[in-house]
Structure 1
């Protein structure tokens, strides 16, 4: 029987974590049916099966980390032999299912479409079969099929989504050794993480199974894309976990997925590019007045109109006036690569860590088009569905700590770029206006901007001119018309 192997997603990713099986043993599947949801170092992806047939065995458990090319499910397609295409191969030489353990690991990250629906032209048929339909299934839902011969009660149980517990690998192993289905254990602590004490209580009858609609693990609700909210008031929307003294004194959490990739990228950037950071404080009262007028525009009512949008538009103008910040250092060739296009990255805080999707050719967009692109970017990032193609090819980035009520920071440059702008909280503050006899103090909307840049190719003059232009555009957005 053919094995469906974990496809190669590209983008340098070599492993993924099984998050949720969409099928069970005995289910009938058709070509392009979604069989499993996996997470890699970039996002969540649902994988379609490339054959018709019946599921005979699941070779990996939910929570298992699997290397690319490893068989994860056996399909009986009726001919008893290997199927062409789709990452499937004859069972000979495949992994012994007995080798697959039930020890779950914490979530890793993303197998993402490298081809739109229908596959990539010019690629081999096997690769196309593996990737066909990815675009079509984005954001779709798949219901578990009724098992053949299942009773009414069994069918109803199949149709009910199962609660997925949040727990560390040692705790999952502890539950397994005691014969407990960890998904039936309710976490006592406020973080929603199942601990050994919760399993003991469950065995002793002190805990009841969670209802299907219960929160599956109490993962913190991540804030929206950094800076995509209204001016910060000092209180973050991020629901932080609290210290839990009811269980183990210490826990070790495997660093995987987005967090692992981010850590490696930041270390590489910090120790390869000489960083310089400059700061400026800006009166953005006119920008805030513009935002209120735009919000009142009926043509823009369905879009996200906020300070980040104006900053993004100002970035496109400031980069056009200072193109040197939109370049990158090629260490191998010892050359500066000047980009004559602008892919604007927006740092996004998600439940799976920080990602930096970018808006392709942002400099060619008008304000409405930019607002639409940022609205889509926010929705996709919040859903954890940002694709690798959307996170590659960035040329300059905005990170907004203001959404957390923070005034400023010294951001690390995103790998492959040479500059990153930090957007602080927008606050009402006393500000000196006018001059001479007209000088007075008034309450104004004020923020701080910072820019970190690679000093190998951006000197102090260029970095300062870019930051000054950016500040001038936020201080008086009308300048964008003259400078565009």
Structure 2
């Protein structure tokens, strides 16, 4: 007998409550293995691929691409015993795999097949388990067999009361275990028709006020589709509407202008955009922001960049001005540790951090994300440049791991790539400062009393005035500017 298991949407890390279904990698009827990637989801922080905790056949997909689902909600069902050959009490895969996937999320999302098996009841058979979770002992509980008579739409019987194992008149066996399919047995023995429809279709029917029991499904196997629901929601034609074609004798010579609503486009607020908005509002109205500005002659930095690009150590390295600014920040933090600290409201403490997890604001199609370069202060300029390139590329492609999106200590945002000179950036929650790196332009500059063309850049620093005083913020910004205008100053830090 078939045995269905529901796969709930796991928490993909950091206590997230919902995620959006991006793409399914399987369809109903597909054979799947343990740890096979079955779906790609997008959380508020990153796109994540989820593995399957069981082997079997996909029975039904319970969520559609573009749908936002709460953590713990079943998103598909898998028949772990499609041949009905498993011994009583056996488990295909592991119950711990499902529980672990729901609780661990991020670890399950990046798991790969380990090749290890677990005990399968008393049969001694070894089965694959979801990586990171051991096999659960079989409970020895049998699934109660269904005995109700399959029925078609509108309660019509299929003319057979035989069990699937012994169909009447030599007919094909019919599965009676698919979810939301067909019928249910009442306590008094009567059989009530249950409409065949997927959760998104049921939601649409509820919104349109359509009783699915009154709808005939035109999908495969009599499943009710969205089109069936919309068709049922349309008002019945009246005599006046039937006579409408006759009234449309003369077409209008001039079309009336469309209303404002018809020229508007509405997009749901979710995933990255939703999380970003919440974080920015919280930061703006929690931390008292102060922003300072500095205009810097970065000609020496650009000259050094041109020289280093020809060095063997920088072969294949994308050495951008942003890498120099990031390195300057890591050096300047040593003299002003307050800009790399956290204000802990609950414990009433300032947490100073002797490391730099540098956040890099990156614009993506899904919205603004801020992946982190771990221990950026311990990297050489070449290593930091390579790490920045890898991180920004991963962010734009949506492949950043959830662990790279948290626990930053200070952030840099490169507004110069958009041709913008500067701005007043909002501090990332949990941090105390953010530096905006503006566009580098050829501008007139006074050098030794003479006006000459130079490479000029503007910097702006926003900092939390609860733990960073004006003197400390000014010193940090001046140090960054000095390092960019004369890289040799780095030797004095």
TM-score, structure 2 as length reference:
0.66
- CA gap of 1:432–1:455, structure 2 versus 1, over 3 A, is same
Paired residue for 2:476, among 456, 466, 471? 466
Q: Distance in 1 between matches of 2:28 and 2:360?
A: 42
Partner of 2:46: 43
Cα distance change, pair 114–265 in 1 and its aligned pair in 2 (3 A)? farther
CA distance in 1, matches of 2:15, 2:387: 26
**Does structure 2 retain, via aligned residues, the 8 Å contact 1:43–1:112?**
no
- Aligned partner of 2:59 in structure 1 is 56
Tell me the equivalent position of 1:266: 280
CA distance in 1, matches of 2:272, 2:259: 28
Q: CA deviation at 1:248?
A: 3.1
Q: Secondary structure at the match of 2:428?
A: coil
User: What is the Cα deviation at residue 61 of structure 1?
Assistant: 1.6
Task: Confirm whether residue 3 of structure 1 aligns to residue 6 of structure 2.
Answer: yes
Kindly state the Cα deviation for residue 115 of structure 1 after the two structures are TM-superposed: 7.8
Counterpart of 1:353? 367
Alpha-carbon distance between aligned partners in 1 of 2:490 and 2:268, rounded to the nearest angstrom: 47
Distance in 1, Cα, partners of 2:30 & 2:306: 54
Contact 2:34–2:54, Cα closer than 8 Å, also in 1? yes
Aligned-pair Cα RMSD in Å: 2.9
Return the match for 2:447 from 415, 421, 433. 433
Is the 1:283–1:446 contact (alpha carbons within 8 Å) kept by the matching residues of 2?
Answer: yes
Of 349, 368, 379, 1:365 maps to 379
Pick one of 295, 302, 306 that aligns with 2:309: 295
1:13 corresponds to 2:23 = no
Q: How does 1:361-400 map to 2 (within 5 A)?
A: 361-400=375-414
Q: How far is 1:132 from its partner?
A: 4.9
Partner of 1:278: 292
- Quote the offset at 1:72 in angstroms: 1.1
Give CA deviations for 1:274-297 in whole Å, capped at 9, x if unaligned: 000000000000011111112222
CA offsets 1:54-82 (integer angstroms, 9 cap, x no match): 11111112222111111111111114868
Aligned pair partner of 1:87 in 95, 98, 102: 98
The yes-or-no answer on 1:330 pairing with 2:344 is: yes
Q: Residue by residue, what CA displacement relative to the aligned partner does 1:349-401 show, whole Å, maximum 9, x if unpaired? A: 11111011111111111112212211211221121111221111100000111
Match of 1:475 in 2: 485
Q: RCO (CA 8 Å, sep 6+): is it higher in 1 or 2?
A: 1
Give the direction of change, closer, same or farther, for the CA distance of 1:87–1:245 in structure 2 (3 Å limit): farther
Q: Quickly say closer, same or farther: Cα 1:383–1:112, change in 2 above 3 A.
A: farther
Match of 1:158 in 2: none
Distance of aligned partners of 1:54 and 1:177 in 2 relative to their CA distance in 1, 3 Å threshold:
closer
Question: Would the aligned equivalents of 1:35 and 1:47 in 2 still touch at CA under 8 Å?
Answer: yes
Residues in 1 aligned to 2:427 and 2:375: alpha-carbon distance in whole angstroms: 20
SS of residue matched to 1:17: strand
Residues 1:51 and 1:409: Cα distance change in structure 2 (over 3 Å): same
SS in structure 2 opposite 1:470?
helix
How far is 1:49 from its partner?
Answer: 0.3
Provide the residue aligned with 1:155 in structure 2: none
Give 1:440 deviation, angstroms.
0.6
Mapping of residues 55-454 of structure 1, within 5 Å: 55-78=58-81, 79=86, 83-87=94-98, 112-113=106-107, 117=111, 132=132, 178=227, 248-434=262-448, 439-454=449-464
User: How far has the Cα of 1:481 moved from its partner?
Assistant: 2.4
* Alpha-carbon distance between aligned partners in 2 of 1:15 and 1:415, rounded to the nearest angstrom: 20
For the Cα contact (< 8 Å) 1:357–1:390, is it kept in 2?
yes
Residues 11, 106 of structure 2: 8 Å contact kept: no
Find the aligned partners of 2:347 and 2:261 in 1 and give their Cα distance.
54
Rounded Cα–Cα distance in structure 2 between residues aligned with 1:416 and 1:440 = 45
Closer, same or farther in 2 for the Cα pair 1:69/1:177, shift >3 Å? closer
Query: Tell me, which stretches of 5 or more residues in structure 2 are unaligned?
Result: 115-127, 134-202, 209-224, 230-257
| Separation in structure 1 between the aligned mates of residue 310 and residue 297 of structure 2, nearest angstrom | 22
> Is the partner of 1:86 in helix, strand or coil?
helix
What secondary structure does 2:11 align onto? coil
Q: Residues 131 and 264 (structure 1 numbering): CA distance in 2 closer, same or farther, change over 3 Å?
A: farther
> Structure 2: how far apart are the matches of 1:131 and 1:367?
37
1:26 counterpart residue number: 29
Structure 1 residue 112: Cα displacement? 4.0
Structure (1 or 2) with the larger CA radius of gyration: 2
Match of 1:13, SS? coil
1:407 & 1:317 partners in 2: Cα distance? Answer: 23
Q: Is the 8 A contact 1:326 1:396 kept in 2?
A: yes
- Segments of structure 1 that go 5 or more residues without pairing to the other structure are 90-110, 121-127, 134-168, 181-243
Instruction: Give, in whole Å, the separation in 2 of the partners of 1:450 and 1:245.
Output: 43
Indicate conservation of the 8 Å contact 2:46/2:399, yes or no.
Answer: yes
Q: Indicate if the aligned counterparts of 2:440 and 2:457 stay in contact, CA closer than 8 A.
A: yes
- TM-score in terms of structure 1 length: 0.68
Instruction: Flag the 1:178–1:246 CA change in 2: closer, same or farther, 3 A.
Output: farther
* Alpha carbons 1:4, 1:88 under 8 Å: kept: no
